[in-house]
Structure 1
Amino acid sequence: MLLVERKKIIADYLKQHHMVDLQTLVSLTGASESTLRRDLDSMEEEGVLVRVHGGAKIKKAPNSVIGDEPRFSEKVASNAQEKRVIAKAAVEMVEPSQTIYLDAGTSSLLMIDFIEPAMRLNLVTNGVDQAIAASSKGLNIQLLGGTLRANTQAIVGQTAHKQLAKYHFHHVFLGMNGVDIHDGLTTTDEAEAFLKEQAANQSKNVHLLVDQTKFEKTYPINVAIDGKFDLITNSFEDRQMKAKYSEVYKIKEVKN
């Protein structure tokens, strides 16, 4: 395979996934690791990507904002193993009989796999898929009413806000589209942002479930969460990035 072909494969993969490791590139191109390291070094010099330990990540343009959001089915399939690790760690933080809120994120959906009826949790969600999954396991769950966002299968709107206002939570688990040092927490929809903020304000403990693809991304709508919260994420390949984000956020890193 020619150099220009390998570079196109690498660039296309980074546009979709934002991060790549050498083993993935070996599978995609059939080239050796040493050849791919030279390719990545060359592309870094060209300003296409940033080299990290064991691979590379896409180079974010200054003040760039991502406008489009993948469909929910696409997000479920993306980084599924990493999200399962995050979801399992999140459930381990919960004690029996507590009241918790799961928003309509894909990692919170995977939490249902690790919650057993014997835990006797009181679950509240604005996620249709979360409610269906929990109900099929015999879990006690309350689905907020309101307007359905088809792209994320999330319930939003005034009815949802009024229902949510009745609750006080031990733990709130939120997904987030983007986490950036300068731009903060961001998402694609104002109505979902408001609901995330409200749920966080009504909880003793707030946890953001974010896999590595969410870092250094900025979306149009800011999510302002008052008080302390932590970011539960899978292992950082770039230790410098972890150190940088740890200065701003409380990071709970779980092994892949």
Structure 2
Amino acid sequence: MLLVERKKIISDYLKQHHMVDLQTLVTMTGASESTLRRDLDSMEEEGVLVRVHGGAKIKKAPNSVIGDEPRFSEKVASNAQEKRAIAKAAVALIENNQTIYLDAGTSSLLMIDFIDPSMHLNLVTNGVDQAIAASSKGLNIQLLGGTLRANTQAIVGQTAHKQLAKYHFHHVFLGMNGIDIQDGLTTTDEAEAFLKEQAANQSKHVYLLVDQTKFEKTYPINVTLEGKFGVITNTFEDRQLKAKYSELYKIKEVKN
């Protein structure tokens, strides 16, 4: 395979997944690790990526803000294995007879697969897909009323806020579009951000469910969470990146 072909494969993969390890590139290209290291070094000099231990990550422009949000169906299919591992770890934190809030994220949707109906949980969500999946499994779930955002299948608005205000949760599980050292937690929609903040303020324990593609990303709307919260994510390929975020957040890594 020619150098230009390998670089295109690497570039295309990073655009979709934002990080890549050498073993993945070996499988995709058939090239040796030494050859791929030289390719990555060359692409770093070109400003395409940033080298990290064992691979590379996409280069983020200073203060870059991502405006567009993928459709919910696209997010469900993206990094499904990693999200299932995160979802399973999240469910392991729940005990019988608790009141739980699941927001309209893809990892929280996958949590439904791991919840045992015999736990007798009281689930609350603003996610239409979460409500459908839970009810089809025989779980007790309350879907907030309000305005539907088609892109994320999330319920938002004043009706949702009024209904949510009635609850006190043992655990709240939130998705997040971006998590960045400088810019904090961000998402794409102000109404969804407000609902995340409200749910978190009404819970004893708050967890963000984010795979590695969410780190070093910034979206237009800030989400401000008061107090401590945990971050459940898949394994960091870049240990320096983990150390940096661990200074600010309580990180729980799970294997895929």
Q: TM-score, normalised by structure 2?
A: 0.98
SS at match of 2:8: helix
Using the alignment, how far apart are the partners of 1:143 and 1:219 within structure 2?
Answer: 26
Number of matched residues? 256
**TM superposition shift of 1:208:** 0.3
Unaligned runs of at least 5 residues, structure 1: none
Separation in structure 2 between the aligned mates of residue 199 and residue 54 of structure 1, nearest angstrom: 38
Following TM superposition, by how much is the alpha carbon of 1:202 offset from its aligned partner in structure 2, in angstroms? 0.4
2-side partners of 1:230 and 1:34: how far apart?
38
Query: Share of identical aligned residues, percent?
Result: 91
Query: Aligned partners of 1:9 and 1:114: how far apart in 2?
Result: 35
Which string of whole-angstrom CA distances, capped at 9 and with x for unpartnered residues, describes residues 64-83 of structure 1? 00101111111111111111
1:172-195 deviation per Cα after TM superposition (whole angstroms, max 9, x unaligned): 000000000000000000010000
Pairwise CA distance, 1:59: 0.9
1:34 to partner: Cα distance = 2.1
User: Does the CA contact (< 8 Å) of 2:178 and 2:216 recur in 1?
Assistant: yes
Shift of 1:22: 2.1
Quick one: distance in 2 between partners of 1:145 and 1:195?
Answer: 12
Range that drifts further, 186-195 or 17-26: 17-26
Shift of 1:9: 1.9
Q: Residue 73 of structure 1: SS of its match in structure 2?
A: helix
Give the Cα–Cα distance (whole angstroms) in 1 for the partners of residues 121 and 53 of structure 2: 40
The 3-state SS of whatever aligns with 2:47 is coil
Deviation at 1:10, TM superposition (A): 1.1
Question: Unaligned regions of 5+ residues in structure 2, if any?
Answer: none
SS in 2 for 1:97: coil
User: Could you tell me how far 1:31 is from its partner in structure 2?
Assistant: 2.2
Note if contact 2:21-2:237 (Cα within 8 Å) is conserved in structure 1.
no
Q: Distance in 1 between matches of 2:240 and 2:31?
A: 28
RMSD of aligned Cα (Å): 1.0
**Cα separation, 2, equivalents of 1:26 and 1:152:** 35
CA deviation string 1:182-216 (max 9, x = no partner): 00000000010000000000001000001111000
Quick check: 2:170–2:203 contact (8 Å CA) kept in 1? yes
More deviation in 16-25 or 114-123? Answer: 16-25
Matches within 5 A, 1:46-57: 46-57=46-57
Give me the whole-angstrom Cα distance separating, in 2, the residues matched to 1:55 and 1:48: 13
* Deviates further, 189-198 or 9-18: 9-18
> Mean alpha-carbon deviation: is it higher for 44-53 or for 170-179?
44-53
Partner of 2:9: 9
C-alpha distance after superposition, 1:94-148 (max 9, x if no partner): 1100000000000000000010110000000000000000001100000001111
Q: How far off is 1:47 after superposition? A: 1.9
**Given the two structures, how large is their TM-score scaled by the length of structure 1?**
0.98
